[in-house]
Structure 1
Amino acid sequence: MAAKVLIIATNGFEQSELLKPRENLENAGIATTLASPESGSIKGWDQKDWGESVKVDVSIDDVSVDDFDGLLLPGGQMNPDILRMDERVIDLVRAFDEAGKPIAAICHAPWLLIEADIVDGRTVTAWPSVRTDLANAGGNVVDAEVAEDDNLVTSRNPDDIPAFSKAFIALLESSASAPTEELSTTH
């Protein structure tokens, strides 16, 4: 069965940080579902102006961590700043972490990890203006294309998307192939 990734975003997501990782996931055979507090469609931010609109697949109210194998959090300044004030989103981020499922956050999206209180003691990276916030939340902040720590994958900016996508896909694949307890059968 193919892995399924939930993407959470709202208006003002950095266009490349949603569209490119989503494309990379789908090219790897991983299904994606876009959830948002908004219905209909949400509008991206493309560097210095509004970008494309993207269709929302499901309301944030109608998703469960049990239905997905991983979580993708695109950045942009507006998107994570709005989402971190939505307790439903923060509860989902926290639930993915508590379940040990892969979480990938890029650029400003680690603000959501801070709000969910899952950064303390973990190695993370982000956009430069977010790094002090990560350090203040107890994170071990590095300036690297990708920081991986247990089930977290974080990256700094759109230039890191190839490495970010590759690390997230590898984590999803290793999580899917992790040994599970075998049931004994009798004949």
Structure 2
Amino acid sequence: MNAPLAARRILIMATDGFEQSELEVPLEKLEEAGAEVRVASLKEGQIEGWDDDNWGDEIDVDLLIADARAEDFDALVLPGGQINPDLLRVEEEAIALIQAFADADKPVAAICHAPWLLVEAGLAKGRNMTCYKSIRTDVANGGAQVFDKEVVVDGNIITSRCPDDLPAFCDAIIETVVRVGADA
């Protein structure tokens, strides 16, 4: 089995209302690639996903966002959905954690509505990005050049549009984590 992410630790940050597939697929693909993946949230226990037009499955939370440290992980993944990033973008600890990953030059990957978090963290300005179509103006107003592509990688910032883009999104995360590790 090919394990390009062996000995790598990746954090997924989410809260209730995350897009079900946008958390579960990266979690599965990153673990298959050999990474240890942890989920951080605003509360202990479990968080509930959003699947199509209703609440979805619950997923276990491994640690609180307040207890997560960028230095303990190799990358950060931010699932979308409309509810999840909207709740997280007003939480100072969540934004500070995103900024800490960026300040450490570690990959930060955001899909769907999660680029809202990158805007809030001040990471969109001067970047090439993509996102869900309904927030393109928000991301552009945050200073990004917005493209309608399945995945855009700008340095260590990875963005995608929607669940259909998950294969390219996951591949880009793996490639970027491997590249950053090779550069270290």
Bin of the TM-score, shorter chain as denominator length: over 0.9
The 3-state SS of whatever aligns with 1:177 is helix
Matched, 1:90 2:95: yes
1:60 CA drift (Å): 1.0
Q: Give the percent of matched residue pairs that are identical in Structure 1 and Structure 2.
A: 51
Q: Give 1:150's aligned residue.
A: 155
What residue is the counterpart of 1:42 in the other structure? 47
1:127-146 → structure 2 map (5 Å cutoff): 127-146=132-151
Residues 80-113 of structure 1: per-residue CA shift (max 9 Å, x gap): 0000000000000011111110010000000000
- Superposition CA RMSD, Å: 0.7
* Residue 169 of structure 1 pairs with residue 174 of structure 2: yes
CA–CA separation in structure 2 for the residues paired with 1:11 and 1:138: 28
**What's the counterpart of residue 2 of structure 1?**
7
Letter in 1 for 2:178: E
- For residue 83 of structure 2, the aligned residue among 68, 78, 86 is 78
Query: Residue 97 of structure 2 aligns to which amino acid in structure 1?
Result: L
CA-to-aligned-CA distance 1:139-184 (integer Å, 9 cap, x gap): 0100000011001000000000000000110000111111x4xxxx
Matching residue's letter, 1:97: A
Corresponding residue of 1:30: 35
**Pair 1:67 & 2:72 matched:** yes
TM-score by length of 2: 0.96
Which residue of 1 is the match for residue 118 of structure 2?
A: 113
Report the alpha carbon displacement of residue 2 of structure 1 after superposing the two structures with TM. 1.1
Provide the C-alpha distance between the structure 2 equivalents of 1:75 and 1:170, rounded to a whole number of angstroms: 21
- Which AA in structure 1 matches 2:168? A
Higher Cα Rg: structure 1 or 2?
1
Q: Does 1:20 align with 2:29?
A: no
Partner of 1:54: 59
Q: TM-score, normalised by structure 1?
A: 0.94
Provide the rounded CA distance (Å) in 1 between the counterparts of 2:143 and 2:160. 17
Name the CA distance, whole Å, in 2 between partners of 1:26 and 1:120: 31
CA distance in 2, matches of 1:44, 1:92: 22
Counterpart-to-counterpart distance in 2, 1:117 and 1:146: 20
Q: Distance in 1 between matches of 2:178 and 2:8?
A: 8
Unaligned runs of 5+ in 2: 1-5
Q: Tell me the distance in 2 between the aligned counterparts of 1:64 and 1:81.
A: 22
1:126 correspondence with 2:131: yes
Provide the rounded CA distance (Å) in 2 between the counterparts of 1:11 and 1:137. Answer: 25
Paired with 1:47 and 1:14, the residues of 2 have a C-alpha distance of 8
1:159 maps to which residue? 164
